[in-house]
């Protein structure tokens, strides 16, 4: 009987924090509790969070995902996604006397409040973010059309022309690259020294912490695996941060998307997960690597997170 060859050692550096943030956890719970309280179906405007596995699991529980409110019947509850919605959406839901639950992340809501405050103070508002992303659509939709100018790049910042250079304020999408955003803000600030800033950083704690953890891992890893869906802004940014730090990176949905051939010349592989990716997907990727390699796991902790957000009062009693 021939013995199978010994498996080659592979060290996994597991970034911490990774995976679900408080806003994602709250949004998922809102859908789950709504189904418990009202029964299925519960409608959800846009994917509750940008992760295929989360959406599929909730769909199996009785969630129906739609893109616009007109696709929802008047007599069933609707949940607004964690990314936030324009003001016109809850206004229309109220007009139709619908039951609606707002799962907007409180840190996105903070950006909405600040944008309104700057607008009320007569400022011209610049929003740094990605065109078409639902969070950007929701934030721009808090104010009248034309009140917010979207800036995506340093080049945009260089050519932006406000009506009054002394009355500019900026806000940002919560899931951006910290380094890229700092470069854009520096460009704007050089042109508009009086530009008003958020009271507190708009890029959320979870985005910042996960990017810092990736930088720490990328210094020691030969390859980085980021678990998350391709439409997840924060997951895409993690892969970009890894590459910028000099570490090749792959964004994968799950273990089924992992090509073990990527690891043939790798001694140390970094693993992280976007803020909307469940932890069981991380374990699945590690288990898949263990089929071929003698895997050892080391946690690289950059920060500890203790943030949690309350559920809406209408659902609190079902928690």
Q: Cβ neighbours of residue 258 under 8 Å, at least 6 residues apart?
A: 225, 252, 285, 288, 289
Q: Are 168 and 194 in contact (CB under 8 A)?
A: yes
Tokens representing 260? 């073990």
C-alpha span between 120 and 112 (Å, rounded)? 12
CA distances from 177 to 17, 156, 229, 233, 263 (A): 16, 16, 17, 9, 27
Catalytic-labelled residue, pool 47, 114, 135, 240: 135
CB-CB neighbours of 46 under 10 Å: 21
Among 104, 98, 56, 66, smallest CA distance to 204 is for 104
**Catalytic residue at 135?**
yes
C-alpha span between 78 and 55 (Å, rounded)? 15
Return the residue matching tokens 């508009």: 192
CB-CB neighbours of 293 under 10 Å: 18
Q: Of all residues in the chain, what percent are helix, strand and coil, respectively (each to 5)?
A: 40, 20, 40
DSSP of 22-44: HHHHHHHHHHHHHHHHH-S-EEE
Which positions are catalytic?
Answer: 135
């Amino acid at each position: 009987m021939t013995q199978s060859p010994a498996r080659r050692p592979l060290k996994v550096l597991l970034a911490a924090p990774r995976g679900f943030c408080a806003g994602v956890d709250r949004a998922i719970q809102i859908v789950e509790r709504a189904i418990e309280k009202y029964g299925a179906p519960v409608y959800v405007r846009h994917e509750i969070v940008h992760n295929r596995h989360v959406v599929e699991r909730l769909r199996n529980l009785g969630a129906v995902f739609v893109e616009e409110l007109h696709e929802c019947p008047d007599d069933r509850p609707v949940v607004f996604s964690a990314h936030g919605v324009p003001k016109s959406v809850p206004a229309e839901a109220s007009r139709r006397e619908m039951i609606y639950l707002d799962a907007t992340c409180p840190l996105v809501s903070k950006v909405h409040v600040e944008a309104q405050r700057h607008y009320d103070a007569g400022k011209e508002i610049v929003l740094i973010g990605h065109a078409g992303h639902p969070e950007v659509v929701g934030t721009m939709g808090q104010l009248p059309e034309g009140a917010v100018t979207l800036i995506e790049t340093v080049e945009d910042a260089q050519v932006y022309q406000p009506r009054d250079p002394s009355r500019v304020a900026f806000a940002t999408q919560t899931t951006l690259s910290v380094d890229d955003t700092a470069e854009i803000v520096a460009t704007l600030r050089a042109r508009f020294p009086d530009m008003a800033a958020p009271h507190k950083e708009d890029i959320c704690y979870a985005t910042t912490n996960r990017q810092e953890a990736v930088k720490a891992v990328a210094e020691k890893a030969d390859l980085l695996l980021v678990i998350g869906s391709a439409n997840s802004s924060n997951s895409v940014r993690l892969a970009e941060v890894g590459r910028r730090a000099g570490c090749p990176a792959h964004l994968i949905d799950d273990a089924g998307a992992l090509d073990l051939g990527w690891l043939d010349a790798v001694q140390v592989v970094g693993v992280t997960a976007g803020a909307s990716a469940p932890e069981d997907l991380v374990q699945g990727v590690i288990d898949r690597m263990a089929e071929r390699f003698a895997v050892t796991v080391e946690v690289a902790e950059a920060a500890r997170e203790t943030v949690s957000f309350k559920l809406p009062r209408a659902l609190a009693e079902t928690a």
